[in-house]
């Protein structure tokens, strides 16, 4: 690639971000969803072992250990792809396995940023595309999840990549005289849709969006080519999801039903009240979207929508592909508001609906750049826009996913009102500090998810699950559901972990 390439900035951005990730990935604590999930990664290879198959003692449930009843409903595609790199890196560096997973998770996130940039080039010149991607990558909530969340950012990356390749595929199929064979696009798009379906059961939505796009292009021949795309997607889903192997249709329907009525749905804190996941208010998603992205995003988004409709009215914008981007975001918001699925852990399950927001902001950024012609002025504007996120990424490290914007007073203003460190990643720092405090052998009672605390406990600290406590015991409480503030304070905290004035977890010595 030439140093003068107009796309060089995206590679610089990715390189700087990767460097930042390499220097900081070991700071992130394990989220409570990770402990069993990475053991799933360790066990899933059993399903593909030929020696185990012919041993006469093969039991597919061993591939889903140690939480088979839950893991069998979650396709392991991302784990299958990433685990080899994790094991190799760990063997070479001797770094803690969870930390290595965090680095690979972050690399996956950066791949999504790469494809979002190239998807954005459908509408914008490179300077605008890189600017909207800067705004995207500097969202603290995304930066934080990029390390500690091995489920939702990987799905978002697959979603973005599938739309990018799917658009290209349909465009190529719609041409009367194609310059390239359609099969490469069909295979790549089909594989991506299949992998996305493996990670989240809503993955087929991508295929439906591409079908709509083909319909809008009014090219029947293009629509027929979606059939082999669907076949590739189905085969990919089947091959990468061992739970489906013996009864694919029946078990896929079973997973659909299970995910629609997920049996393990924790409570969530919203406006100071604890709600069952199926009973959160209608405003849950809209409010959280409004207060967990940086302040400029929604101003630019609103301005961008106005520009889009004006340009459509003036017939200065092709409406077919941009309508799919609108559908991507607004359909899912409508789905949540109408169907009312279980919602908890804020909106981490819906991180994949955020990219369209930033594509729309691109229209606002483009108009601003048209007004502000000098390069130095454009750079100053973008710097001021992304500064909101960069400052918070630094201040909240390594708890960026707890970010709330100034509309609710920041993370400190959200404390006790909304969830902050709901995945208990503060346990790593809390146990490190407790290890410095406890000079002798001590026992630590953990109110929630003791196994995560035990993972980081020094040798002289014995971690046990919650039990009735007595004077002299040490108790670890978390911010989830505001437990650290609502559980009766038997004594002052001896250790507090938090950022921006908010407490994420605390250790107390129980006084007489």
227, 195: one domain: yes
Task: Tell me if 390 is assigned to some domain.
Answer: no
pLDDT of residue 67: 79
Residue with tokens 């699925």: 341
Of 279, 172, 162, 148, the closest CA to residue 232 belongs to 162
Task: Tell me if 275 is assigned to some domain.
Answer: no
The number of domains in the chain is 3
pLDDT of residue 414: 96
74, 168: one domain: no
pLDDT, tens digit (0-9, with 9 covering 90-100), for 112-126: 999 999 999 999 999
pLDDT, tens digit (0-9, with 9 covering 90-100), for 347-395: 999 999 999 999 999 999 999 999 999 999 999 999 999 999 999 999 9
Three-class SS of residue 201?
Answer: coil
| Residue range of the domain that includes 105 | 1-141
C-alpha 404/C-alpha 384 separation (Å) is 18
222, 180: one domain: yes
What number of H helices and E strands is found in the chain? 23, 7
C-alpha 254/C-alpha 162 separation (Å) is 25
Q: Which two tokens stand for residue 170?
A: 């349909």
Task: Tell me if 296 is assigned to some domain.
Answer: no
pLDDT of residue 487: 65
Q: Which two tokens stand for residue 312?
A: 């459509």
- Cβ burial of 56 (10 Å; 0-12, 13-18, 19+) is exposed
Q: Which of 141, 163, 183 finishes a domain?
A: 141
pLDDT of residue 468: 80
122, 176: one domain: no
C-alpha 322/C-alpha 204 separation (Å) is 20
Pairing of strands 474-478, 502-509: antiparallel
89, 158: one domain: no
Q: Which two tokens stand for residue 123?
A: 């509408």
99, 198: one domain: no
Task: Tell me if 228 is assigned to some domain.
Answer: yes
Q: Which of 260, 280, 302 finishes a domain?
A: 260
Task: Tell me if 305 is assigned to some domain.
Answer: no
Provide the sign of the torsion angle of the four alpha carbons 453, 454, 455, 456, taken in this order: positive
Q: Which two tokens stand for residue 368?
A: 């601003």
Residue with tokens 């594509």: 359
The single-letter DSSP state of residue 418 is B
180, 122: one domain: no
Please state the φ and ψ torsions of residue 197, each to the nearest 5 degrees.
-65, -35
CA atoms within 13 A on the CB side of 359: 28
Residue with tokens 């393990």: 264
Task: Extract the residue ranges of the chain whose pLDDT is less than 70.
Answer: 1-4, 176-179, 260-264, 486-490
pLDDT of residue 177: 64
Q: Which of 260, 288, 315 finishes a domain?
A: 260
pLDDT of residue 217: 86
């Amino acid at each position: 690639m030439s140093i003068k390439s107009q796309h060089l900035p995206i590679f610089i951005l990715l390189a700087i971000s990767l460097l930042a990730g390499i220097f900081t990935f070991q700071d992130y604590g394990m989220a409570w969803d990770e402990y069993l999930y990475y053991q799933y990664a360790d066990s899933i290879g059993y399903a593909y072992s030929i020696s185990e198959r012919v041993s006469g003692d093969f039991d597919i449930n061993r591939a889903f250990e140690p939480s088979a009843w839950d893991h069998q409903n979650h396709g392991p595609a991302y784990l299958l792809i990433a685990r080899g790199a994790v094991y190799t890196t760990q063997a070479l560096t001797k770094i803690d396995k969870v930390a290595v997973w965090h680095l690979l998770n972050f690399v996956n996130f950066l791949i999504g940023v790469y494809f979002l940039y190239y998807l954005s080039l459908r509408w914008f010149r490179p300077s605008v595309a890189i600017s909207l991607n800067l705004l995207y990558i500097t969202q603290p909530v995304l930066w934080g999840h990029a390390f500690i969340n091995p489920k939702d950012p990987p799905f978002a990356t697959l979603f973005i990549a599938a739309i990018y390749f799917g658009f290209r595929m349909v465009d190529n199929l719609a041409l009367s005289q194609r310059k390239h064979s359609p099969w490469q696009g069909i295979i790549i798009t089909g594989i991506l849709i299949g992998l996305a379906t493996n990670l989240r059961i809503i993955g087929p939505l991508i295929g439906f969006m591409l079908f709509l796009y083909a319909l809008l292009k009014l090219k029947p021949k293009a629509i027929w080519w979606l059939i082999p795309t669907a076949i590739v997607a189905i085969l990919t889903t089947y091959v990468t999801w061992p739970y489906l192997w013996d009864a694919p249709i029946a078990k896929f329907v079973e997973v659909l039903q299970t995910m629609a009525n997920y049996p393990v749905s924790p409570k969530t804190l919203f406006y100071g009240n604890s709600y069952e996941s199926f009973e959160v208010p209608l405003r849950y998603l809209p409010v959280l979207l409004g207060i967990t992205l940086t302040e400029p995003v929604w101003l630019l988004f609103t301005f961008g929508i106005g520009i889009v409709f004006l340009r459509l009215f003036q017939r200065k914008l092709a409406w077919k592909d941009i309508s799919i981007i609108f559908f991507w975001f607004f359909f899912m918001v409508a789905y949540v508001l109408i169907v009312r699925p279980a919602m908890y852990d804020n909106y981490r399950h819906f991180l994949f609906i955020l990219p369209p927001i930033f594509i729309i902001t691109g229209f606002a950024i483009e108009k601003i750049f048209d007004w502000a012609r000098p390069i130095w002025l454009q750079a100053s504007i973008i710097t001021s826009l992304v500064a909101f996120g960069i400052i918070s990424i630094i201040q909240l490290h390594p708890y960026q996913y707890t970010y709330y914007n100034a509309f609710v007073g920041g993370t400190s203003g959200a404390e006790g009102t909304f969830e902050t460190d709901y995945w208990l990643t503060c346990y790593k720092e809390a146990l490190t500090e407790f290890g410095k405090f406890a000079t002798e052998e001590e026992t630590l009672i953990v109110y929630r998810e003791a196994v995560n605390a035990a993972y980081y406990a020094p040798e002289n600290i014995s971690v046990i699950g919650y039990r009735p406590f007595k004077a002299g015991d040490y108790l670890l409480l978390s911010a989830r559901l505001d437990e650290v503030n609502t559980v009766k304070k038997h004594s002052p905290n001896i250790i507090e972990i938090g950022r921006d004035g908010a407490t994420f977890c605390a250790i107390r010595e129980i006084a007489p």
